[in-house]
Structures are given as structure tokens and as C-alpha cells.
């Protein structure tokens, strides 16, 4: 697919808008003000996504169906609904299986194969979730906090550092 230079310029221009202008776009799109504490970067990305979706068509019908199914499977508090033994189907989320009680809380909420990205001091750090733990720069760590400490040199809550 060829990139539309005009669309590319419009998306780039979003970065020049003030926070108030971006919040105005959010209100126009969602019908309410952005949540308190939302960073400007998220407002820019949301505006860019909606601009591109409007021009290029947005999510496919299949993606919309899968998202709706995922929303139905998750309770209102963000927790997976309990299994339904009668249907034989499990509604476990993010790979939290029978042994989830022995895994760390962070690992329970992340699927094996998930990838975490964190920009820190101008460098992007990538962490992969594996069955053994968290893979960072070729080494397996048992906790995200250990990786956050490795990156920053200070004690951090790993899930908080990675925005979980």
C-alpha cells in the first residue's frame, strides 16, 4: 500500500498541537474529556490513529468481532470470568492456568510470548515473557523488578516501570 504523503504530513503535524488542542480532538472523538493524567503522547497517538482510521478504514470486521469477544470474556473489573465447566470452555486470560498460583503476579497477567517495551534515557528496552520468566538482553530474570533495577540502577516496581 502506497503511503499518502498528505496523510503522513497531517499525522506529523499532530505533534505540534497543544495539549488543549489534542484534548479537544479527544472530546470530539470519544464524546468526553480524556482521563485525568493521560500523557500528551497518548493524546497524539490517539488522534493519529483516528485520523488514519478515518482515511484508511479502521479495524477490520474480524478484528472488531475478536475484540467484542474478548470484552465479553473479561468481567467488568478486568478479571477473567470463571470457567464454565458445563461448556468445557475456560475463560482464563493471558495464560494464567492451573499453576498460576505459583507464578508471580506479573507473569499471571502476561501471556507467554508477550513483549514489553520501555523507553528509558533515550534507549528502548525490550523484555519477552517466556515460560521460564522474563528474557532481557539474552538473560532470563525471575521478576520485572530485577530488570527495572538493571536498566535504571535503582529500585523500581517492575510492573509499574513497564506500565502494567
What is the distance between the alpha carbons of residues 153 and 146, in angstroms, rounded to a whole number? Answer: 10
Q: pLDDT 10s digit of each residue in the chain, 164 long?
A: 567 888 889 989 999 999 999 999 999 988 999 988 889 999 999 999 898 888 888 888 888 888 888 888 876 556 555 544 444 443 333 333 334 343 444 444 677 888 888 888 888 889 998 888 899 999 999 899 999 999 988 888 888 888 87
Distance separating alpha carbons of residues 75 and 68, to the nearest angstrom = 13
Rounded to whole angstroms, how far apart are CA atoms 158 and 164?
9
In degrees and rounded to multiples of 5, residue 42 shows phi and psi of -65, -40
Which pLDDT does position 13 carry in this prediction? 93
**DSSP letter (8 states) at residue 128:** E
Q: Is 22 helix (H, G, I), strand (E, B) or coil?
A: helix
Cβ atoms of residues 161 and 152 within 8 Å: yes
CA distances from 3 to 8, 75, 134 (A): 7, 39, 36
Alpha-carbon distance of 92 to 142, in angstroms, equals: 22
- What is the grid cell recorded at 129? 515473557
Number of Cβ atoms within 10 Å of the Cβ of 109? 19
d(C-alpha 123, C-alpha 142), whole Å? 22
pLDDT of residue 111: 79
Amino acid at each position: 500500500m502506497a503511503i499518502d504523503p498528505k496523510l503522513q504530513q497531517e499525522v506529523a503535524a499532530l505533534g505540534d498541537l497543544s495539549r488543549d488542542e489534542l484534548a479537544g480532538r479527544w472530546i470530539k472523538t470519544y464524546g468526553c474529556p480524556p482521563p485525568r493524567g493521560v500523557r500528551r503522547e497518548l493524546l497524539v497517538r490517539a488522534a493519529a490513529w483516528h485520523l488514519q482510521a478515518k482515511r484508511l478504514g479502521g479495524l477490520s470486521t474480524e478484528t472488531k468481532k475478536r475484540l467484542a469477544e474478548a470484552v465479553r470474556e473479561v468481567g467488568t473489573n478486568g478479571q477473567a470470568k470463571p470457567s464454565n465447566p458445563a461448556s468445557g470452555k475456560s475463560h482464563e486470560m493471558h495464560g494464567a492456568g492451573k499453576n498460576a498460583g505459583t507464578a508471580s503476579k506479573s507473569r499471571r497477567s502476561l501471556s507467554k510470548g508477550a513483549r514489553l517495551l520501555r523507553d528509558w534515557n533515550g534507549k528502548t528496552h525490550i523484555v519477552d515473557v517466556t515460560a521460564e520468566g522474563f528474557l532481557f538482553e539474552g538473560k532470563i530474570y525471575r521478576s520485572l523488578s530485577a530488570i527495572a533495577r538493571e536498566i535504571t540502577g535503582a529500585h523500581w516496581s517492575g510492573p509499574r516501570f513497564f506500565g502494567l
